[in-house]
Amino acid sequence: MKNFVKLFLVFVLALSVTLPLSNSTEAAKQTSYLKNTKKMYTYKQGAASDKTATSYTLEFWKKEDGYNYWSTIPEDSVLEGFGFGEHETKEGLYVNDEKILAYPVKKGKSWKDGNITTEIRAVNWTLKTPAGTFKNVIEMRDTVKGYGYYTSFYAPNVGLILQTRKNKDTKGKTITGLTLMELKDK
C-alpha cells in the first residue's frame, strides 16, 4: 500500500508540473501576422472601387538576418524598387525596425512611439476585400497627436489587408488608403 501511495504522489506531482508547462507553451504560441512568402500581394492605393487609384504588387525577395524582404515587381512602374523588411518576435511584428503590432494581441492593448499611440481596437473581425474573405482579423488604430488617425486591418498569416485614414488632409472624412486586391500563389 505504501508503494501505491508513493507512486500515486509521484504521478500527481509529475502531472502538476507538466500541465502548467503545456499550458504556458500553448500560451506562448502567437498567431503570425507576417506576410506569406509564398504569395504575391497586389494592393490598390485607395478604395477598391476607385478607378483612378494606382496599384502595385509585392513579391517576397529574400530572407536575410531574420527579415523577410519584400519588393515591388519590376514591371510595376508606380513604385518600382520600393521594398521593406518584415520580421516577427515574441514582442511583435516589425516593418524595418518599427513595431507595427505588439504581442500578445489583445483588444484594448496600446503602445506609444513618439507622438503616435497605437491601440488594438478589435479582434476576430471577418473582413472582405477583392482578395477574399478573411477571418480573425484585428483592427488597429494609429492616432497621431493633433493630426488624425490611421486604421489598419491585419489577417493572420496574410498581414495588412486594408487601411483607412481620417485626418486633417481628409477634412474629417474616412478615406480608404490601401486595399488588398489580389493574393495569389507565386
How many CB atoms neighbour CB 87 within 10 A?
17
Half-sphere exposure of 172 (CA within 13 A, CB side): 0
Tell me the residue type at 66: G
CA distance 19 to 35: 33
Q: How many structural domains compose the chain?
A: 1
Tell me the residue type at 41: Y
C-alpha cell at 81: 524598387
- At residue 2, does pLDDT exceed 60? no
Q: Measured between alpha carbons, how far apart are the two ends of the chain, in Å?
A: 66
pLDDT at 81: 58
- Would you say residue 104 lies in a domain? yes
- Would you say residue 33 lies in a domain? no
pLDDT in tens, 31-53: 999 999 999 999 999 888 888 88
Tell me the residue type at 86: E
pLDDT in tens, 94-132: 999 899 999 999 999 999 988 999 999 999 999 999 999
CA distance 180 to 160: 8
Q: Are 140 and 122 in contact (CB under 8 A)?
A: no
- Would you say residue 32 lies in a domain? no
- Would you say residue 31 lies in a domain? no
- Would you say residue 153 lies in a domain? yes
Q: Which of the given ranges, 7-21, 74-88, 98-112, has the highest pLDDT on average?
A: 98-112
CA distance 39 to 114: 33
DSSP 35: P
The distance of Cα 13 from the centroid of its chain, to the nearest Å, equals: 40
Place 74 in a pLDDT band, splitting at 50, 70 and 90: low
Averaged over 131-153, what is the pLDDT?
96
- Would you say residue 152 lies in a domain? yes
Which residue in the block uniquely carries the three cell numbers 504560441? 29
- Would you say residue 19 lies in a domain? no
- Would you say residue 24 lies in a domain? no
Which residue in the block uniquely carries the three cell numbers 492605393? 45
- At residue 11, does pLDDT exceed 80? no
- At residue 82, does pLDDT exceed 80? no
What is the span of the domain harbouring residue 43? 39-185
- At residue 58, does pLDDT exceed 80? yes
